Amino acid sequence: MLRSPSELRTDVEVSFARLETTWALLDDSRWQSTGIMMAGPRTMAEIVAHHLRNVEVHHVDLDIGYRPADWPTLFVDTELAKRLRALPARASHADLLAWLLGRAPAPDLEPW
């Protein structure tokens, strides 16, 4: 059975409210506790950051008018720094450097 957009929206709103309530009740000492995600073990603080990333990225994916230019500066700065740290593992270092120095086109990148 297909659910209407209104039903889906309500479900998402209720789910987010429950999640945020649970996070608000989490004792300060538990934020460095480890939980399990598909990507592997992460602290609760990292899980919240990952959740924020998913919300921002998939909001753009919905193609309903929210664009990368609408992303909050804090999200952009934090996520960009993480992605840039991972960049050298995705291409030849010489090819990356040539591109960064304006001497070659952007290299083909390996998947994340």
Query: Taking Cα atoms as reference points, which of 76, 43, 55, 56 lies closest to residue 12?
Result: 55
Give the integer Cα–Cα distance in Å for 112 and 53: 15
Return the pLDDT at 11.
Answer: 95
Q: Give the model's pLDDT for residue 1.
A: 79
Per-residue pLDDT of the chain (112 residues; tens, 9 = 90+): 789 989 998 999 999 999 999 999 999 999 999 999 998 999 999 999 999 999 999 999 999 999 999 999 999 999 999 999 999 999 999 999 999 999 999 999 998 7
Per-residue tokens: 71:
């992303």
Predicted pLDDT at 112: 78
